[in-house]
Every structure is written in structure tokens, then in C-alpha cells.
Structure 1
Amino acid sequence: MNPTFKQKLYSEVLRNIETDEPLKGSQLIEQRYSGQDLSLLEKILQRGVTLVREYKLESVIQRTLSRIQFVTVGMTVLFFLLGGLASMQAFQQSQTGVVNFYWLVTVLLGFDFLALFIWGVSMTVAAISGTSMRGPGLWVQRLVIRYFPGKAGEAGKAGEISAAQAVFSVVFSGAIGRWWLSRASHSFWLAYLCGGLLTILFMLSTRQFDFVWETTILTNQTFISVTEGLSVIPSWIGFSVPSAEQISASQLSLFDVGRGDSLRQVWASLLIGAMIVYGILPRLLLLVVSHLMISWQQNRFRLDLTRPYYIGLRERLMPAASQFGIVDPDLKKKGSTANSESVRTDIRLPEGALYAGIELNQDQPWPPAGILAEDDLGRIEDRESQERLLRRLAASGAKDLVAVVPVRRSPDRGLERLFAEIKKHTRGRLFIALSEASEKPKPMVSSNHQQPNLSRQSDWYRLAMRVGIEADAIVKMEYSGTTEQSSATSRAVRNG
């Protein structure tokens, strides 16, 4: 398993366990990482690794993955036996040693072709709709969790079950889940075909069979053409195939036992070649492709940082600590209270960026202290100001833009359209700064009592993703100080 993917899996396991309340001791770990110079994702992953090891959840996760593997191997063995039984049953239907070739091929390959068709349709529909093929996965999940082994560890029995459920939610969801179930399906049918092929070889080695064909409504030429088409690829790789004359001679009503030896050899060769070429090789190829796709999708797996859980982690792991802008030293010397107002962000914003206030509250100061007049694009409150903003962006070159919005503002469709237009006209990088007045630090609380704005922040993250803004371009901005103080500082900055 990819190491980075394993770390993300750990974080998802913790998210599932910490649904009701954080694990004990997690606050100390978060305080340790909050002061380190790491990105949000790096802090989340490091926190996950530390907590999983501290609560001895690694063995729970590994045991869950092993049980999934155990069920997969068990099903593979079962399909191998079913393939052998199906082949044996198809041969034993003939008491005289005369076997209908096409009936035998249908029994051995027909169900495989049907399953392959259903798989192709399911994968196409799931890929288009973005859903998961979780039916078989839910069956495996219930089987494993019901018989979950081992004693309760540091996280307790409920924690172990939550950890197992989190593993299943990652393994069987999204693109990873589709390709994991595909790999399992192809391994099952490959085992079925291999079991059938070995049984065929055993039956042909120990008994004598004559292969014939018959029809009621189809013409003889139809069967000859179908057989010749079936024989093309096996003949390319060296299998003996029947000629048109031998195909005609194998019709049940025309079959001559005296020519049985030569006919038996070519028909048996075609049967084995068809099993390998049309059954085993395609499944083997798809099995390899599925395995490679699982690895690729694991590398592409991303934590959904728009979830309130991860936004809550960001609140605790990325405290607002980066102060930007200019504070007038003369004001500080005079002891003025104006410079007590400051703006802090949890991510350092780029120098020389442009700033625009999007539908700010009336009591919210603008511009924030430290923003130069030439970088201030003003408040955006109506259609006229929106058009003016877009014109200035088009003429500003490749500058970054920081769009400041109140965190409690609802990101409705109108704002989504506005940000889509802003994104289109911004040549540099677009940041969304979710602003709020700073408050005293709050103790960690359970997810059922999270700060009310976590859900609203999650909505903003989803809006950003829909318009093509990266999650790490969402900035938390805290104001401290009064409106009057902020206005004084802003004037001091502009007047220089």
C-alpha cells in the first residue's frame, strides 16, 4: 500500500472514530503540530499517524485489510471449484461420449461473457454518475465486522468497529472501490475459468469424447461461419482448428465415427484455445489493469477537506498567526489605540496581491489595516461594483487576488456565479479569505457541539471546489479591534 495513502487512511479512520468526540490526548498532539512550519495536509497526516500509533489502531486496520484479503481468497477458491464442477457437469450430460461443442462453450464461457458485460456497464455508469459499486463491498463489510476478531484495544470495541468501518468506506468507495471490486471480480472469474480448463484437460485425458453440433432453425453455413470466426485468434497462436469440411462433417446427423480420431483432436484443440483466448487471457489482462488502477487511484486519493471535521482540525492546527500589512510606527509611538487593530491569517498571503471585499457586513472595516490604496479594489456589493471589479482584474495583469467574505455569509448560487466570473478574469491565483472577528480561544468540543460556522465554512470549501479554487487557497482571516480603530489604521496606512 502506498505510504501516503496509508497516512490518509489513518486520518479517515480517526474521522470515523471522532464523530462524537475527539480522542483523549489529541489536543496536546494538535498543540505540538500547530506551531510547526507544515502545510495543513502535512499536519493532519502527522496527527493521524501519531494518534493511530498511540491508540494501537494500526493492528486493527491491518487486521481489517487481512480479513478482506481472506474473504477474497476464499471466494477465489470457491469460484475455482465451481468452474471445475461446471465443466464436469457439462461433459457428464453425455452418456455416449458425444458432446455438443457449442453447448459446452456456452456453459464454460457464456456466464463469463455475461458477467463481463455487466461489469463493463456498471463501471461505465458508476464512472459517469460518480457513484460506487458498493453492493458486494457491503456484504464483505458485514461479514468481516460481524466476526471481527481480537480484544478491544485502547480505543475500545466501538472504536475498533468504527476503525473497520472507516477502512471499508475508503476501500469500497469512489474510484478506489470500483477498481478494488473489479480486481476481485476478475480474480473470481479467472479462477472459475482456470478450474474449468483444468477439468477439461483432465476429462479429455482420461475419457474419449466426440464433438458435434446440431441446429433446428439455423442453417449449416451459419455454424460453419461462426466456427471459422471463433477459430481465427486461436489459430494465430498455434492451436489446431477444424476446417470447413471438418465442421460440416461434425454435424450430428452427418457424423461418422470412423473419422472420429482426426475430428476429436481439432475440436479439443479449439475448445482449449477458446477457453484461453476468449476467457482466461482477457480476465488476466483486466486483473492486471485493475491492480495498476488501484495503485494509481490510491496515489490520487485526496482527503475531503471540505468536511466540517477537517475544517475543525484546521481551526486547531492552523491558528491565525501571520500578520500582514503595515502598522504605522508613529501611531505606535504616540500610544494611539488605532494600531491595536490587526488582521491575521492562518496562511501567509502573497505580497502585492489585490484585495476585494465581497458583500461585507456594514460594520466590517474596509480595507483591512496594511493594504495599500493601489491594491484595494473596494467593496463589491452590487452589479455595478461587480462589473468594475472584473474590468480592473482584466487590466491588472497576473496579480493574485484575495477576495474577503464574511465567514457567516451563505455561499448561495449568486456568489458561486460571481466567484466563477472572478476566477475567469483573474490571471494570478485566487484566494478566498473567510473573515471573522477574533475571539478568545475556545476549548475543544465534540462534533455535536462544534462552532456554528464550521458547517458554513464547509459550504465555502465546496463552492471553491466547484469553481476551481484549491482547498489551500481558502484562508481564515481574523480581525481584532473596533471598527473605529480599524478605520483609523486604514487611513494612516493610505496617507503614509
Structure 2
Amino acid sequence: MTDPIALSPFEARWLAELVRRHEERHGALEDRSALVAARTAAPDFETRVLRRATELGAREGWRAAILRWHGRARLALGGAAVLALVLGFGAAAGVLGDGSRAVNVVWALGGLLGVNLLSLLLWVLATVLQARRARVGPHAGGALGRLWLWLVSAFDRSPAAADLPLALGSLLGQGRVASWGLGAVSHGLWALALLGAALGVVTLLATRLYGFVWETTILPADVFVSLTEVLGRLPAALGFPVPDAATVAASGDAPMLQEGGRRAWAGWLLGALLVYGVLPRVLLAAACAGLWLSTLRALRLDLSRAGYARLRPLLLPESERIGVRDPEHKRSGWLPRPAVTPEGAGAAALVALELGADLSWPPSVPELVGAHPGALNEDFVRCDAGRLDSGEQRRAALQRFSAHPPRRLLIAVDPRRTPDRGNLGLIAELVEHALDTRVWALAAAPGPEQPAASRLPQWREGLARLGFAPEALLLDASAARDWLLAQDAEHRP
């Protein structure tokens, strides 16, 4: 099952968290084909975990559920944006009224900005407190952002989507990702609501006649003159009109009905709304969005979790540390003719080609042989021609065998490792320097302490491409010893 829409890196990690949570609670999923696909991905562990999760998520329906979730998220965000504009416009109409009564400029500004400023203060306090914590939960961010997240999750009750919010919270609980993302949504919606209020103020001021007044019982007029001047400095720097001291003082006795005074109050009210309401929210939304994208790019799976640690030996097996199988060697398809005559051949030789660290050398295999294990090991030690792990060791062996070619050469390999181009090419070169050659799969024989050799089919296939007969691959230690020392019997008088 393959979804035509590719997942983003964030969605892929979200899906991996979903798979991990499911397997930790309900047991491992059947993943044979997913493991095969994952091992073809890049060699790093996280990339293979993501590839496995993508394969399983497509089969189980989780991948499609995440894509549907994002579709609903965009739809809900668009609806919330429209609603914020409408509510902002309605708030402006409620504050200014229908023009039948004078507008109290203090109450009007407080009605347009008061709730916004209180919400902004709470957000700042929450952000400061969260900065002192090591981890931030999925409920960080503004109230509007959390409401949007809840609405998106509430409209899909399918089994595939049941764990989406929990997996998302588990992923976003790392660092400040959730805080910045939901903060960007919350500030953006507030900015739209205040922009709607500004549009409402402009529309109503353009179509109705309003008088402006400030009212007080105990405060002197100088307080309102100073307040108007302080709040009008930033709007005035941007070109908005500000009422002078005489206009402010006159508005305290009766509604300001003169055209110049009305325009000054209208410009002051609109400028304060834009400068102290819309502009800060826009800047904060942009800052949170930038931090969200930055933390999102740095987001990685917590591979120390038990659900991921279980996958490490499956996705990064010991036999694949050298990488995937290389392209076929240029010599594949034929077995070189040995450039050795029977008269020039010497004693038998045994070499080791890239054995695993758990396999001793010279061979010591008493658990694989029923009788006379000591004699068997002694024979192997007597024929030992060394390990061929490094390039220097390989060149030295080829030079030695070129000068003193063995009558029989037994090449011990670790069948748990994948045969690559270099190994098969070296075997083909060794064939040219021995009268007869066999390959011994040293770890292939099953036993209570010996794991099964999972790459034997690849070794058989690779040796067959070189031209070896099927019986040239030896699996039993006794058979390897009998073949290696058979020349003694052949030349015994």
C-alpha cells in the first residue's frame, strides 16, 4: 500500500511515534516486508525507523489518518480565521454603537484592546515559566491554539485516528515545538480578530457620525491629556492624527462634535488599535512561526525509548555493518583457471576472510564436532595461513600464494555477513593461486550456541556466479578438515 502523497519529515516522525505507541501497548506488528524495505534506506538508524513506520502506517491506515488530520487542520484554521475577522468586526460595532450616543474614548479603547492585552500578558507569563522547565507538554501555547488543536482532533473518531493526538503530544513534548507552533496559531488568530476590529472601526467611522468624549468624576483633565499624548506618540510617528491638549480638554465637558476634533479622535483610536493591538500580534505570530520551523527542522525521534531500542538489532544487524551488497564483480560468471601445476603446488592452506569478532582464529570449534575435537583444531592450526581482513593482509597473501601456491586452499567466511563485491573478487583472485579451492561457511552449522547463518543463500548465489559448483561451499567442520587434508592421502605411497 503506497499513498501518492509523500509525508513531510514531521509527519513521518509523527507516524513513527504512532507505531511505537501501538507496539508498546499491543505487541509488535508483523513487519517482515517493512524490515526489508527499511534496510534498503539510508544506513542511519532513524531513517530506517521512519521507513519501517511508513510501510506499516500505510498498511494499518495511520498514514492516511495523518494526511486527513492535516486536511482538517487547514480547514479548521481557515474557518477560525474567518470567524476571528467576523468577531473582531462585531466587537468594533458593539464598542462604537450606532452613533446615537457619544463614544467614550477610554472605554472604547479598553473594549477593543483590554481582553487582547490580558491574553498577551498571560501568554508572556506562561512562556517565561515554561522556559524554566526541562520539557514542555503538548498543551503549551495560546488558548486559541489549543482550541484549534482540539477541534481538529474532535472530528475524526475512526480507530486509525484514535491515538493521533497522544502520539502528536509525545512527539511535540520534546523541547518547545508545541509552544511555538500553537503560539503562532494563537497570535495569528488574535491578529486577525484585531484586524477585523480595525476594519469595523474604519467602516463605522466612514458611514456614521460619532461624537467623542471622556468622562470622570474624580480625575483632573490633565490625566486624560497626558494619557492621550503618551498613547498617541507611536501612532503619530506612523502618521496617525492625535488630538491636541485643547481638544482633549474640550472633550471632557461635552462630546467633541467639531469635524477636526472628531477626525483627531478617530485617528487616535484607530492608530492605537493598530499599533498596540494588531502590530504586536503580527510580530509575535511571525516570531513564533520562525521558531516553530527552526525547532521542527531540528526535531528528531527519541531513539532511547524502549520501542525504538527493540528495533536496533533488526534494522542495523551485525551482518550489515559493512553496508548493502555491492554491484557484481567484473569477474562474476566464470571461475578463473588456476595458474598452478600439480608439480608446483605445495601444502594445504587455510585463510579467514572477514570473520565476525565472535569467531576465534585459528578455528576452535569443539562444539561442532563429536569426536577428536582437539585433533581437528590442531589440523586447522597447522594449515593456518592467516586472516585476510585488511588490504595489506590480502596483498601479502596473494604474493605468498603466487610464490608458493597451495595444493588445496580453504577460505573460511562468515555467512552471517552479506557477500559484497570485494569479498567475491578476492575469492576469484585466490582461485588463480591454488590448485583447488573450497569455501567454508564457518558459522553455518546450527547448534544450541551457534546462530543460524542467515546469508547462506546469498553466498551460494555469489559463488555460483563465480562458477563454483554447489558442493564447493562446505558447511561442516569435519567435512572442511577432510577436504583440506585429503591431499595427504592422495600422495601417500
Category of TM-score, reference length = shorter chain: 0.5 to 0.7
Q: Is the 8 A contact 2:23 2:29 kept in 1?
A: no
**Equivalent position of 1:184 in the other structure:** 185
Partner amino acid, structure 2, of 1:105: L
1:142 deviates by 5.3
Contact persistence 1:171–1:180 (CA under 8 A): no
Q: CA 1:275–1:325 in 2, change beyond 3 Å: closer, same or farther?
A: same
Alignment CA distance shift 1:142-1:270 (3 Å): closer
1:87 aligns with 2:120: no
Q: 1:325 & 1:89 partners in 2: Cα distance?
A: 81
Which residues of 2 match residues 132-171 of structure 1 at below 5 A?
132=137, 134=139, 143-148=151-156, 157-163=158-164, 165-167=166-168, 169-170=170-171
**C-alpha separation in 1, matches of 2:187 and 2:263:** 31
Q: Distance in 2 between matches of 1:241 and 1:193?
A: 21
Deviations 1:338-362 (A, max 9, x none): 99xxxxxxxxxxxxxxxxxxxxxxx
Report 1:1-400 matches (<5 A): 3-21=8-26, 24-31=29-36, 33-34=38-39, 38-92=43-97, 95-96=100-101, 98-129=102-133, 130-132=135-137, 134=139, 143-148=151-156, 157-163=158-164, 165-167=166-168, 169-170=170-171, 174-251=175-252, 253=253, 257=257, 260-321=258-319, 323-324=356-357, 327-329=360-362, 335=377
What is the letter of the counterpart of residue 329 of structure 1? P
Query: Aligned partner of 1:264: which letter?
Result: R
Distance in 2 of aligned mates of 1:61 and 1:101: 49
Gaps of 5+ in 1: 150-156, 340-437, 443-496
Distance 2:450 2:362 in 1: 27
For 1:61, what is the secondary structure of its paired residue?
helix
* RMSD of aligned alpha carbons: 3.4
CA distance 1:172–1:324, shift in 2 (3 Å): closer
In structure 1, give the amino acid aligned to 2:21: N
Q: Out of 137-146 and 314-323, give the one that drifted further.
A: 137-146
1:219, distance to aligned residue in structure 2 (A): 2.7
Q: Distance in 2 between matches of 1:141 and 1:172?
A: 15
Cα distance change, pair 227–127 in 1 and its aligned pair in 2 (3 A): same
On the 8 A contact 2:235/2:268 being kept in 1, the answer is: yes
Which whole-Å CA distance do the structure 1 matches of 2:84 and 2:379 have between them? Answer: 79
Amino acid at match of 2:17: E
Assess, with a 3 A threshold, how the Cα gap between structure 1 residues 319 and 121 changes in structure 2: closer, same or farther: same
Question: 1:326–1:278: structure 2 CA closer, same or farther, 3 Å change rule?
Answer: same
Instruction: After TM superposition, give the deviation of residue 158 of structure 1 in Å.
Output: 2.5
Residue by residue, what CA displacement relative to the aligned partner does 1:88-115 show, whole Å, maximum 9, x if unpaired? Answer: 111128633x111111000001111111
TM-score by length of 2: 0.60
- The change in CA–CA distance for 1:210 and 1:2 in structure 2 (over 3 A counts) is farther
How far the C-alpha of 1:140 sits from its partner, in A, is 5.0
What's the offset of the Cα at 1:324? 4.5
1:16 maps to amino acid: R
Amino acid at match of 1:284: V
* Residues 213-253 of structure 1, C-alpha deviations (whole Å, 9 max, x = no match): 122233322221111111111111111111222222222x2
What residue number does 1:467 align with?
none
Deviations 1:183-202 (A, max 9, x none): 12112211211121111111
Distance 1:206 1:140, change over 3 A: closer
Q: CA deviation at 1:439?
A: 7.2
Contact 1:112–1:279 under 8 Å retained in 2: yes
Q: Percent identity?
A: 27
- Aligned residue-pair number: 333
Secondary structure of 2:176's aligned partner: helix
- Structure 1 residues 336 and 309, CA, compared in 2 at 3 Å: closer, same or farther? farther
Match of 1:264, SS?
A: helix
Deviations 1:434-485 (A, max 9, x none): xxxx97879xxxxxxxxxxxxxxxxxxxxxxxxxxxxxxxxxxxxxxxxxxx
Q: Give the 3 Å change call, closer, same or farther, for CA 75–305 of structure 1 in structure 2.
A: same
Contact 1:172 1:181 in 2 (8 A): no
CA distance in 1 between counterparts of 2:379 and 2:184 reads: 67
> Which residue identity does 1:335 align to in structure 2?
N
Q: In structure 2, the residue corresponding to 1:209 is in which secondary structure?
A: coil
What is the CA deviation profile of residues 131-153 of structure 1, one whole-angstrom value per residue up to 9, with x for unaligned ones? 2261757755654444317xxxx
> Distance between the aligned counterparts of 2:160 and 2:7, measured in 1?
24
Supply the AA of the counterpart residue of 1:92.
G
The higher relative CO (CA closer than 8 Å, separation ≥ 6) is in 1
Cα distance, 1:232–1:218 mapped onto 2, change above 3 Å: same
Contact 1:2–1:295 (8 Å) recurs in 2: no
**Preserved CA contact (<8 Å) 2:42 2:48:** no
**Who wins on radius of gyration, i.e. which is larger?**
2
Secondary structure of the structure 1 residue equivalent to 2:217: coil
Q: Helix, strand or coil: the match of 2:212?
A: strand
Q: CA deviation at 1:204?
A: 0.6
TM normalised by structure 1 equals 0.60
CA–CA separation in structure 2 for the residues paired with 1:26 and 1:70: 34
Q: Which residue does the alignment assign to 2:445?
A: none
Partner of 2:489: none
Distance 1:315 1:103, change over 3 A: same
Return closer, same or farther for 1:254/1:33 CA change in 2, 3 Å cut-off.
Answer: closer
CA distance in 2, matches of 1:317, 1:183: 37
